[in-house]
Amino acid sequence: MSIITTTDLHKVYSETKIPVRALNGISILINEAEFTAIVGPSGSGKTTLLNMLGGLDTPTSGEVHINGTNITGLPSRRLIDFRLHNIGFVFQSFNLIPVLTARENVEFILQLQGVGKNERQKRAIELLEAVGLPDKIDNRPGDLSGGQQQRVSVARALASKPRFILADEPTANLDSKSTAELLDIMMKMNDQYKTTFIFSTHDSRVMERARRIITIEDGKVANDEMKS
Amino acid sequence: MIWFVAWRNVWRNKLRSLVVILAVALGLFGTLFMIALSNGMVEQKIDASINNEISHIQIHQPEFMQDQSLAFSLDSANQLEAEISAVPGIKTVCSRIKAMAMASTAVTGAGVMVNGIDPEKEKTVTEIYKFIIEGDYFESAGKSAPILISKKLATKLKAKIGSKIVITIQHTSGELVYGLFRVSGIYKTANTVYDEPNIFVKKTDLIALTGYDSSKASEIAILLDNVEQTDPVTDKLKTRYPALSVLPWKELEPILLALGSMIDQMSYFLLIIILFAMAFGIINTMMMAVLERTRELGMLMAVGMNKRKVFLMIMLETIFLALVGTFFGILISAVTIHYTGLYGINFAAWAEGYESWGFSAFVYPSLYLGFYIGMTVLVIITAIISSIYPAKKALRFNPAAAIREDA
């Protein structure tokens, strides 16, 4: 069942003297429980596409439908609420709240969703255990390695039980061991919770593990390969 | 949890937050202490004027205030005193004979206001007896009639204890008469403006000199149980004695009230300046706090934190920062004002200047509880207003761009 559909997405940045065409007519369809990598050279439009899928940016033309909802037409307030309940984010630089512990970082999303304290704590601990950080629950991000921080990010992204998780170059700041561990965890979550993962990456280690690879070049889909 | 995160965010950059907290605390302390000092000075001035000079209420013949002569007297003063004493709220009452005169020594002379008093009764209304610095308060017996003069007048007349002073005054018959007095005491209050002209003699001696009717008096001075009763008791006495002039201290010394208002206005002006300075300090700090967290705020908005919550978080951070500063500012102020209010501050080096304006050089700062509460509320309002610009700045972040900002 398709979870994301984009129709003829165009994005032109007109702020500069010469307008930049970041997306040039992208139409893709992503199904539930996919483990998809969006790849391409720098400046190809990967991040722009990811931002469109996450409702963080609006296309110049075209539409993004998530689970039947056209998010391009949603007003800002509803879009924020939509993101909170439907999309999980994992960022390249982890972007955890440094003043909160690992558990509190995971709980924060649940608190925004209005989940009660006991349930929040229970779910945060479960998820941190699931990503292999049972002993780091009360550590702040500054006390964690890059790999551990990214695992907390994954736990945070999963906390809100999103329809899919968007990960923008999640392994860019990780060493090989941490990358492997992170990918193992994400694949486990993909299998266990049937959560859809979409990455933007040019990390070959991620591409090797992805089940589908969409290659973007010059703002267009150059290749869309489904691995068996 | 937003409150919790906001509180933790305050301590993210401890040094910067402590600098702002210190600035708020010191700004507040400076303002509160200055206001307490001014307030204390004015309160002391009012208390001193009431207790040493004018009492809470005075009663005269209406013409007396324009022409302070023996011609305008209250009849049956003793009976009047007795009637007034029975009015609820009145603590003590005493009558005086007052007249302008000339005091002369062998060296020089000066215009004075002679106060003919009953020394023991006067003690119950004014506290001049507490300010005797040389000699005594009509206690020693001598051949000549005793006179109490101020230090200021003594210096001017080059008089000392035992010096002879001739008082030239108008007799009730209209003739000028001369009376010999001997200085028995020298007093000094904090108000040299009051001290200089006022001399005190026994009522009986003044009656003997001027031929004044002993059943009369120039004024009746009234001391109340507390200052708050001034208006109701004044109204009551005005109703009871419509033909007489019943004046509360505010009308006897309108400058006291004006002084209070002037100090209030200056305090508010000072307060506004300090709050403005505080606001800019807070805005500057919060702008730094917001701009250095661009990526984090972008992330929060990306993952679903709505604008209202982002705004609330920044506002709470600002309020917490200001509140911690306010707490310490008020704590330091309260302790200092309480301590100095008990033991006073001696501005001895400027005593002459203070006293020439009628203020004591020994100041007891004072501030009522309501001012601390009002100040806290004002700081919170300032913090809320100060947080608007940084918070709005945060709301303008584009999450997609903010997330990719360099840390």
Write the CATH number for A98.
3.40.50.300
Q: How far is CA B300 from the centre of its chain?
A: 54
Query: Is B187 in contact with B195 (CB distance < 8 Å)?
Result: yes
Is residue B94 within a helix (H) or strand (E), and if so which, with residue range? strand B90-104
Given pLDDT bands bounded at 50, 70 and 90, which one contains residue A147?
A: confident
pLDDT score at B46: 85
pLDDT score at B335: 95
Q: Does B1 touch chain A (CB under 8 A)?
A: yes
Beta strand pairing status for A212-217 and A35-39?
Answer: parallel
Bridge partners, residue B81, by sequence? none
Mark yes or no for CB contact A98/B12 under 8 Å. Answer: yes
Model pLDDT for residues A38-78, shown as the tens digit of each residue? 999 888 888 899 999 999 888 999 999 998 889 998 888 89
Query: Is A172 in contact with A184 (CB distance < 8 Å)?
Result: no
Model pLDDT for residues A188-221, shown as the tens digit of each residue? 888 888 889 999 988 888 888 899 999 999 899 9
pLDDT score at B406: 58
pLDDT score at A107: 93
Terminal Cα distance for chain A, rounded? 18
Find the DSSP H helices in B112-229: 119-125, 151-157, 192-195, 203-210
In this prediction the pTM is 0.76
Mark yes or no for CB contact B5/A100 under 8 Å. Answer: yes
* Helix A102-113 vs helix A76-86: crossing angle, to nearest 10: 130
Q: How far is CA A20 from the centre of its chain?
A: 24
Smallest CA–CA distance, residue B369 to chain A, in Å, is 37
Q: Which residue has the higher pLDDT, A35 or B398?
A: A35
Query: Is A116 in contact with A79 (CB distance < 8 Å)?
Result: no
Handedness of CA B102, B104, B108, B112 (dihedral sign): negative
Parse chain B into domains and list their residue ranges. Answer: 2-49+256-403, 62-243
Map tokens 């266990």 to a residue: A192
Mark yes or no for CB contact A107/B295 under 8 Å. Answer: no
B400 → closest Cβ in A51, A111, A160: A51
Count of structural domains, chain A:
1
Mark yes or no for CB contact A107/B302 under 8 Å. Answer: no
For chain B, counts of helices (H) and of strands (E): 15, 12
**Average pLDDT rounded to a whole number, residues A116-134:** 90
Q: Report B:278-297 residues touching A (Cβ under 8 A).
A: 295-296
Smallest CA–CA distance, residue A77 to chain B, in Å, is 7
pLDDT score at B48: 84
What is the per-residue burial (b if ≥16 Cβ within 10 Å, else e) of A11-35? beeeeeeeeebbbbebebebeeebb
* CA distance linking residue A202 with residue A50, whole number of Å: 14
Q: Does B240 touch chain A (CB under 8 A)?
A: no
Range of the domain at A103: 2-226
Interface ipTM > 0.95: no
- Which residues in chain B have Cβ-Cβ distances shorter than 8 Å to A99? 5, 8-9, 11-12
Q: Which residue has the higher pLDDT, A92 or B206?
A: B206
CA distances from B159 to B112, B153, B189 (A): 14, 8, 18
Q: What is the pLDDT along chain B (407 residues), one digit of tens a residue?
A: 788 889 988 888 889 899 989 999 998 899 899 989 988 888 888 888 888 888 999 999 999 888 888 888 999 888 999 999 999 999 999 999 999 999 999 889 999 999 999 999 999 888 889 999 999 998 877 778 999 999 999 999 999 999 999 999 999 888 999 999 999 999 998 888 888 899 999 999 999 999 999 899 999 999 999 888 999 999 999 999 999 999 999 888 888 888 888 888 888 888 889 899 989 989 998 999 898 888 888 889 988 888 899 999 999 999 999 999 999 999 999 999 999 999 988 887 777 777 767 677 788 998 888 888 888 899 889 999 999 999 998 888 888 788 776 54
| Selected residue of B300, B303, B396 to mutate for chain A interface (largest A Cβ count, 10 A) | B303
Tokens read off for B96: 């005086």
- Which residues in chain A have Cβ-Cβ distances shorter than 8 Å to B403? 56, 91, 95, 168
Q: Does B349 touch chain A (CB under 8 A)?
A: no
Find the DSSP H helices in B49-162: 77-85, 119-125, 151-157
